[in-house]
Structure 1
Amino acid sequence: MKFFKTLSLAALLSVSISTQASVVKVFDVLLDKSQFEFLMNSRGIMNRGVVGQVRKNVRYSLEDMARSGSATMKDIKAMKKSIKDPADLKKYNRMVKNLSKDTKAITRAELVDSINDLVFLSQRYGLKKKAILACAPCVNKELAEAGFSFTLNELKGDSSKRIFKEMSRKAKDPLTAAKFINQEIRKQKLGVAAKVKAHEEEALIYMLLIPKHGTADQKRLYNAMLKVSKTKGGKIDLFDPENGHKFFNIFSDNLSSPEINLWEELLDDTAKLMDDENMSTMDAFYTVLQRRADGVADEAEKADLMAKLDFIKREGCFGSK
């Protein structure tokens, strides 16, 4: 009996020591809700809304890196062979290094970097199933304040499903994405294609597929964008430096029908002001927003609108200058 007690105690100690000595890697906690939340909280990221959105971003990213289910570390390592861009490769190497670290050893900055890199690269080289990459400061201020550069917005509906299906075929990596953008800009007679920031490519591609797959609301908004994209000679040039807008970024957010209609109204008012007062696109747009804010009677609501106006000006969410 004493022998069995000694054996059991030895086994228990062995398990205890093994558990204490085991390494839990950052990648291993990404899809475990409680462990992920604990890791985020332990690094000072306490806002529940931010943690929830980051977890959702991670889930979408891992789904886009795998044919089915969520990506494994093996899937992530297999991605390397597709990456040719030196800047992307640098992000990839940093991401793999950080995701392979012991959760006890990773710093807050490294954790944030690893998630930023994961989200960014999943949309550059992943399958583009249902979510679109967006600049965090322009759609989620709290996320940006916590250090996260990007977010993923799930775009629902049959129209978006068709758009994502075509995106996954014709813009599956940076090279095919650039080729597709150039072809569609020429085909739709939208001027001369200019280089856009890597994290803005998906929104631009989504916009370019609206004439083919979009809803009636989206097509009206697309046409409103063309109205504010005219040169002084009256030709449409989406990338005209004199106008300097990036309104295609509107499509990086999951907009309701009323929100789409509001954007259409804002851009129609902008186009009218451009014609009436010979203003550039962004000057006219900011003037339209300013006048709307000035017309609000409630001081608290007006202050909120003014703060938002200052924010989008400062962050350059829709202006290319």
Structure 2
Amino acid sequence: MSLKRLGRVLLVLAFITSTNASVLKLADVLVRSVELKSHIVSVGVNGASVNRLKSFVQTSVNSLVQDSDKGLYQVVKSLPVSGSDIKKKQRLLRLLKKRSSSVKSNEFVKAVNDIIFLADRYGQNAVTTLSCSVCVSDQLSALGFKTSIRNVGNKKIKHALKRIPSSPRKLYAFNSRRLKSLGIANSNLKYVGEEDAKTLALFLELASRGDAKYKKLTKSIIKFNTKKGKVHLAGPDAPSSLWKLVGYKISDEKAEKWARVISSSLEQKSDRKRISSFYDNLLKETKGDSVKTEKVRKMRANNCFFN
């Protein structure tokens, strides 16, 4: 083939590729690895955060689609949402239908936040947990990506998650019953955001029906959050949001470590000294591991669990 002819072929291929890219819907982009990564970069994400966000989206899509023959749009359309989740679903459907080339950066952020949230709530056989994006990536948090999502491998956590309902109304009722059984005021719920409701449910489920390791952890957190005989898990009087720890990659070993760290910090009387002791104790646990030590220092700088 002559160079001139080869040049024409390459030009045609480039045109076809460009044309295909221009007609791709956002729903297509979210299920295509290369296009997804490219779109993530286009909204200002860079470095290690690109692959992190990509994995969150892929985990969400896989949780929703599973082995379904339907496309992502149809799967989302068929989700049995209710209450405040209806708006999220409707907004996501509108964005999924848009040409990817016309999706603005802030719309992409909303779409990702919505698909992560809905996947966590309604994904088939969903055994996922949400957690704050700050501790995962300052950059993602700054760009507006609220939460991260991860698959849960711990069998005990999987079983607990499967007992937690999806709909907002049933989830609220579940949390209300669990709080009552633990002797904690129901008023805590008005301070719990919708993205944290399932994590709270997991915490309360472990506190009620978990094994000894998880009950020890949840008991130490409840004690940390007790002021003048009242438990404040959320709201302006809550000393911490340490209950969100169960939304991270928790294991039996980590549950024991966290319980040990929190229990040691309870030797201090004031909230300020307890928080300082918490991070000091955590640093001792990570001594000799530079990567984990840096993570703890980052947590301390962001005041994670104590904002």
TM-score range, shorter chain: 0.7 to 0.9
Query: Distance in 2 between the 1:203 and 1:158 partners?
Result: 16
> Quick one: distance in 1 between partners of 2:294 and 2:66?
47
Residue 200 of structure 2 corresponds to: 204
Alpha carbons 1:125, 1:174 under 8 Å: kept? no
Residue from 256, 261, 266 that aligns with 1:266: 261
Shift of 1:204: 0.7
**Which secondary structure state, in structure 2, belongs to the residue aligned with residue 260 of structure 1?**
helix
Match of 1:3 in 2: none
Q: 1:243 to 1:20 in 2, by over 3 A?
A: closer
For the residues of structure 2 that align with 1:273 and 1:18, how far apart are their CA atoms? Answer: 63
Mapped contact 1:229–1:240 kept (Cα < 8 A): no
Does the 8 Å contact 2:63/2:125 carry over to 1? Answer: yes
1:228 alignment counterpart: 224
> Is the partner of 1:156 in helix, strand or coil?
coil
Structure 1: tracts of 5 or more residues without a match? 1-12
The reply to whether residue 133 of structure 1 matches residue 122 of structure 2 is no
Query: Which residue pairs with 1:118 in the alignment?
Result: 115
Does residue 308 of the first structure (1) align with residue 292 of the second (2)?
no
**What is the root-mean-square deviation in Å for CA atoms of aligned residues?**
3.4
Is the CA contact 2:56–2:149 (under 8 Å) kept in the aligned structure 1?
A: yes
- Could you tell me how far apart the structure 2 residues matched to 1:161 and 1:242 are? 31
List gaps (5 residues or longer) in structure 2. Answer: 1-11
Q: What TM-score results when the alignment is normalised by the length of structure 2?
A: 0.78
1:150 aligns with 2:173: no
> Given the alignment, which residue of 89, 101, 107 partners 1:104?
101
Q: Confirm or deny that 1:252 pairs with 2:247.
A: yes
Counterpart residue number, 1:7:
none
Residues 191 and 238, structure 1, Cα contact 8 Å, conserved in 2: no
One-letter code aligned to 1:102: R
2:179 alignment partner in structure 1: 185
**Is contact 1:127–1:172 with CA below 8 Å preserved after alignment?**
no
- Structure 1 position 53 matched with structure 2 position 49: no
Aligned length: 287
1:288 paired with 2:248, answer no
Contact kept, 8 Å, 2:128 with 2:151, in 1: the verdict is yes
> Is the contact between residue 162 and residue 213 of structure 1 (CA under 8 Å) also seen in structure 2?
no
SS at match of 2:57: helix
In structure 2, how many angstroms separate the alpha carbons of the residues matched to 1:104 and 1:174? 34
CA distance in 2, matches of 1:158, 1:36: 31
How much has 1:149 moved relative to structure 2?
1.2
Distance across 2 between alignment mates of 1:17 and 1:228: 61
Whether 1:173 and 2:172 are equivalent positions in the alignment is: no
| Native 8 Å contact 1:293 1:306 kept in 2 | no
